Amino acid sequence: MAASVGGSMISASPAIADVNGCPEQKVCLWPDTAYKGAGYQAPSWPSVSSLKPAGFNDKASSLYNNTALAMRFYQDENGGGKYVIVGPYSGIADLRTVYLYNPNGTVFGYNTLDSRISSLYPH
């Protein structure tokens, strides 16, 4: 499903109140597609400059944003590199093919973020 949020395109699954145990007002990541595997909740809110301290850097294959804010999930630490935008209460069940943006906000196109997410920030 593709939708427009604030003029930005996102690729997301339909909104679900609680995807595989992701608590309300949390951002969750899973090591397998379809929200499977040992899920991980973002350690701080509303942003995470690095997933390394938590041991989840470059490990997500699916994610769910169970918050009221659109979020950016970045390829590099500290909000660097290409990113995907995920709207409120939306997720991506398979990060192998997603709609990405360049660091300067221009469209990159479809590519993978599978096992490449290192940080996240509000959009």
**Strand order through the sheet with 40-41:** 40-41, 26-30, 62-66, 90-92
**Looking at residues 34-40, what average pLDDT do you find?**
92
Cα separation of 76 and 69, whole Å? 21
2-122: CATH class: mainly beta
pTM: 0.84
Query: For the chain, which residues make up each domain, given as ranges?
Result: 2-122
**Looking at residues 16-23, what average pLDDT do you find?**
72
Ranking 15-19, 27-31, 81-85, 118-122 by mean pLDDT, the lowest is 15-19
The enclosing H or E element of 73 equals strand 71-76
| Local structure of 39: helix, strand or coil | coil
Residues 56, 69, 92, CA angle at the centre, nearest 5°? 50
